[in-house]
């Protein structure tokens, strides 16, 4: 079957099998890889003499809206993160709302304020063309049919990583990652939220094209950095077939008419301007939250697990009413709380506790000095009491704009 046949088949409403989707993606995947390699905004982390993120890297980040940092998280830490994410995936409810996991054990997180799993039908797109999350995913992705024998539902997103996974809490205090955050958002940077994207081979759902930010588009203060950025720490090699794709430069152009982009592309979700983020295990991407981005149903043979967490400039959240509610049971666009100093401090304490949790585990590493907690480090030591105080249900205090 040629690619044109596949496109026609889709247009006629017939089902697209997993293999047909792989075939339909092949040329696009190869071309995207070539475009990604040509951009040159990737490499190891470099610092200036003062130890800050190197200005050349910052310039490339602001030019394209993303950067791929190679070899940031070492192999031991990747192994710890894989073990914890494997365990968290295994402890998901068998299906939405179930109380037990696939092995009949109590599912993880029934006692969490925010349920930690978002489950979807294999290879589906839960958000495209819906009102979820402020309607920020206007166009539906191709939804191939999973092979026979696939489960009814699979894990798509996992929330609350700092509470659920010790290795993820320690990652949240990673000195290199926090140095990058300070370089982009300033020394008084603050957290956003986190979610682990799980894309199992032949099962993982798609993420429809979108821009993340939803609060400041009309603001007189609007600029290319006002909605912050997301890290993705990659636990496995990511390919053009299973990885995140971005449209370079769109963080500078305001709100993009994504419906129109897809229409101009003959209705196909395979946008020719887009490039895939190609990573090895332990590589970390930084993606501006205003950049148009998305990912396809994972019909490939390779798993992707992306540990995703973001940071903002303090000025982007202080005194601002949050708008973005990402809850498995309620994907509405809710008017949230106004983020005052206390709320920001409570949520930022997760960074301070994470830094200490990491220090207790890796005493040979120089801990990051997080400026908003300078001189208060004794208040945020990692231990059972501060776990209850700052980490349990911390994601009810996310700063989501």
Ligand X SMILES: O=C(O)CCC(=O)C(=O)O
The residues binding ligand X (CB under 6 A) are 197, 207, 212, 230, 244, 293, 295, 306, 308
Burial environment of residue 2 by CB neighbours within 10 A (0 to 12, 13 to 18, 19 or more)? exposed
Distance (Å, whole) CA 349 – CA 391: 9
- Tell me how far, at minimum, the Cβ of 306 lies from ligand X, in Å: 5
What does the block give as tokens for 101? 């996991």
- Tell me how far, at minimum, the Cβ of 2 lies from ligand X, in Å: 28
Among 20, 77, 80, 212, binds Fe ion (CB under 5 A): 212
183, 53 contact by CB (below 8 A): yes
Partner that binds at residue 18, options ligand X, Fe ion, none, CB closer than 5 to 8 Å by kind? none
> Is residue 269 at the binding interface for Fe ion, with CB under 5 A as the rule?
no
304, 280 contact by CB (below 8 A): no
284, 234 contact by CB (below 8 A): yes
- Tell me how far, at minimum, the Cβ of 208 lies from Fe ion, in Å: 10
With respect to ligand X, which residue has the nearer C-beta, 8 or 280?
A: 280
With respect to Fe ion, which residue has the nearer C-beta, 170 or 312?
A: 312
DSSP 191: E
Instruction: Identify which of 1, 2, 6 has the alpha carbon closest to the alpha carbon of residue 269.
Output: 6
- Tell me how far, at minimum, the Cβ of 122 lies from Fe ion, in Å: 21
Q: Which residue is nearest to ligand X (CB)?
A: 295
155, 347 contact by CB (below 8 A): no
- Tell me how far, at minimum, the Cβ of 210 lies from ligand X, in Å: 7
With respect to ligand X, which residue has the nearer C-beta, 296 or 370?
A: 296
Distance (Å, whole) CA 307 – CA 207: 15
Partner that binds at residue 84, options Fe ion, ligand X, none, CB closer than 5 to 8 Å by kind? none
Instruction: Identify which of 212, 248, 355, 231 has the alpha carbon closest to the alpha carbon of residue 284.
Output: 231
With respect to Fe ion, which residue has the nearer C-beta, 84 or 212?
A: 212
- Tell me how far, at minimum, the Cβ of 166 lies from ligand X, in Å: 23
Length of the chain counted residue by residue:
401
Q: Which residue is nearest to Fe ion (CB)?
A: 212
Provide the binding-site residues for Fe ion, judged by CB under 5 A: 212
């Amino acid at each position: 079957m040629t690619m044109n046949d596949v496109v026609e088949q889709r247009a006629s409403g017939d089902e697209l099998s997993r293999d047909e989707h792989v075939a339909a993606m092949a040329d696009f995947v190869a071309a995207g890889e070539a475009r990604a390699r040509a951009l040159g905004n990737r490499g190891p982390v470099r610092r200036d003499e003062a130890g800050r993120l190197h200005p050349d890297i910052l310039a490339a980040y602001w030019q394209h809206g993303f950067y791929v940092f190679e070899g940031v998280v070492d192999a031991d830490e990747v192994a710890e993160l894989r073990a914890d994410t494997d365990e968290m995936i295994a402890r998901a409810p068998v299906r939405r709302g179930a109380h037990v996991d696939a092995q009949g054990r109590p599912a993880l997180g029934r006692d969490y304020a925010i349920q930690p799993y978002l489950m979807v039908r294999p290879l589906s797109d839960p958000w495209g063309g819906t009102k979820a999350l402020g309607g920020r995913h206007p166009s539906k992705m191709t939804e191939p049919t999973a092979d026979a024998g696939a489960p009814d539902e699979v894990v798509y997103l996992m929330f609350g990583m700092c509470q659920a996974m010790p290795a993820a809490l320690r990652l949240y205090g990673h000195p290199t990652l926090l140095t990058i955050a300070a370089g982009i958002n300033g020394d008084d940077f603050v957290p956003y939220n986190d979610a682990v994207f799980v894309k199992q081979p032949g099962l993982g759902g798609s993420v429809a094209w979108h821009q993340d930010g939803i609060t400041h588009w009309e603001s007189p203060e609007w600029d290319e950095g006002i909605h912050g950025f997301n890290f993705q720490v990659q636990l496995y090699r990511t390919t053009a077939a299973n990885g995140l794709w971005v449209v370079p430069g769109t963080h500078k152009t305001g709100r993009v008419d994504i419906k129109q982009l897809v229409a101009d592309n003959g209705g196909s979700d395979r946008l020719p301007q887009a490039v895939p983020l190609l990573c090895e295990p332990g590589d970390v991407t930084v993606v501006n939250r205003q950049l148009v981005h998305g990912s396809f149903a994972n019909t490939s043979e390779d798993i992707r697990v992306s540990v995703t967490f973001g940071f903002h400039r303090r000025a982007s959240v202080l005194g601002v009413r949050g708008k973005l509610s990402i809850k498995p049971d309620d994907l509405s666009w809710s008017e949230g709380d106004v983020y005052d100093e206390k709320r920001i401090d409570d949520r930022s304490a997760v960074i301070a506790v994470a830094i200490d949790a990491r220090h207790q585990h890796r005493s040979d590493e120089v801990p990051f000095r997080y400026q908003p907690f300078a001189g208060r480090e004794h208040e945020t030591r990692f231990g059972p009491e501060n776990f209850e105080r700052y980490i349990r249900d911390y994601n009810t205090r996310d700063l989501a704009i």
